Amino acid sequence: IKYDGDISYFESELAHVEKLISSRLHSGFFGLLNGAQVFQLKYAEKIFEFYKGLSLESITFHEAYDFNSKDLDDFLSTPYKH
């Protein structure tokens, strides 16, 4: 799902996603709000800082440019939990 400036379209598309691999802070946030499990790629420390202190079981953090592909396989193969 690509954000092209139409926030309504972006929100409606994310509403149908159960698992989200997110490379941007806001897409991960919208995914969580819509009940998706999120594999959040950290390209900057601000991403982790934004979520710091929240006890969210539906998000995992991984370095954007250096993560184990097994982590991604595990994320995609586990049953969806809303």
Write out pLDDT tens, residues 19-57. 999 988 888 888 888 889 999 998 888 888 888 877 788
pTM above 0.75, yes or no: yes
CB 48 within 8 A of CB 42: yes
pLDDT reported for residue 55: 75
Q: Give the span between the Cα atoms of 29 and 65, in whole angstroms.
A: 20
Q: Please give the pLDDT value at position 39.
A: 93
Does residue 82 register a pLDDT over 70? no
